A and B are shown apart, each in its own frame.
Chain A
Amino acid sequence: MIPIRLNAHLVSTGLGPLFDGVGHLVVTPEDLLPVIALALLAGLGGKAYGRRVLFVLPAAWLAGGLIGLAVGWSAPFATTVLSFLVLGSLVAADRPFDETVGAGLAVALGVVHGQMNGVEMAQAGIGLTGLLGTVAALSVTVSLVAGLVVSLQQAWTRIAVRVVGSWIVAVGLLYVGWTFGGR
């Protein structure tokens, strides 16, 4: 009834568990797209929110990952879809929101996806080192994307960010159909 993420194959770079963790984020759109969506949202929210997300998300991801490593259980797939839909919708809407709520989103995303990563890292045998690689990769991703969006000055560029948010929602909807339709 509730499908879970496929954990069968974690990327193997041949460069050790740290870079396997880095590569995992890069080639796992289930994690990468929500991270980009949150980074876009952080950039749209301004410098202060961007800085907060830059520190909160990696910390929450690491905490979730440690829980996943220890417990060996992660949330069902449906939560991944929620990340796409909620964060993508917020980016597309581009409405002002309370920074505490925004930080809460970063914590929720980090803990849930980090926990999934922790389970995957444990199964792949790369453990904490791999998790640190993923956290480092997402820190760089958030800083680059949020920094880019904060620097945008012209109105049309902000609209382009909103369009990307709508694309993330669209991908999430299709993924719902794909997964629950049994394809």
Chain B
Amino acid sequence: MRRCLTAACLLAAAFPLPLFAHDGGSAAGLLSGLYHPISGLDHVLAMVAVGIWGAQLGPPAMWVLPVTFPVVMAFGGMLGLLGLQLPGAELGIGLSALLLGLMVALEKRPDFRAAAALVGFFAIFHGYAHGTELPEGQNGLAYSIGFVVSTGTLHAAGIGLGLAHRWDWGKSALRVAGFGIALAGVWFTLSALAP
């Protein structure tokens, strides 16, 4: 096995494949898209809160919420990219962390359609903010793929954390985490309201 690997490495070194001329642009767009959702704490906390809340609610909300959020968020992103106006986006983002954190902290269990509507409502603000911030000149499709995958991974991380809900200590830990997210949401909201 080791000999095969050594031979393969030697072959690869001896006969390198040519680089694709436009790979740098696509790769840069993909990496930029992957990085953008995790570059802001407000977005990260809201995404993780969606995942945790979904896990607390259990099926079908556990997968309805992470399906709803990226689609509606992308719709908001599309509005931002098209240059349409959506007032109060930063305030909506702050309130999303506050309310979603409270939902986690208080283990609120509304009908899953109401939960999806709440999550979808806030997703528009997140998407819009990102849409207006997206850098020009990137490979749009590669960026979009990275952006959506990164956001979905944050949800998955939230669901993974939310699975601790099956244990008593986990329930307590998630509620504390929810309060923490809500407190951060207060700060984001006040920052958005500040002149």
Contact = CB atoms under 8 A, between A and B. Distances in A.
Interface of A: 9, 11-14, 23, 27, 29-30, 33, 92, 159, 162-163, 166-167, 169-181, 183
Nearest to B78: A177
Nearest to A180: B82
Contacts of A33: 145
B166 interface: no
B63 A159 contact: yes
Contact of B140 (A14, A159, A166, A179): A179
B81 A181 contact: yes
Query: Is chain B's interface secondary structure helix, strand, loop, or mixed overall?
Result: helix
Interface stretch (B13-21, B41-49, B103-111, B181-189): B13-21
Interface string B71-88: 101110111111100000
Interface of B: 17-18, 20-23, 26, 63, 66-68, 70-71, 73-75, 77-83, 131, 134, 136-138, 140-145, 147-149, 152
Contacts, number: 96
B63 A171 contact: no
B71 A12 contact: no
A125 B142 CA distance: 26
Contact of B141 (A11, A12, A175, A181): A175
Contact of B78 (A12, A167, A174): A174
A152 to B, nearest CB: 14
A159 B58 CA distance: 13
A67 B91 CA distance: 52
Contacts of B83: 181
Nearest to B18: A14
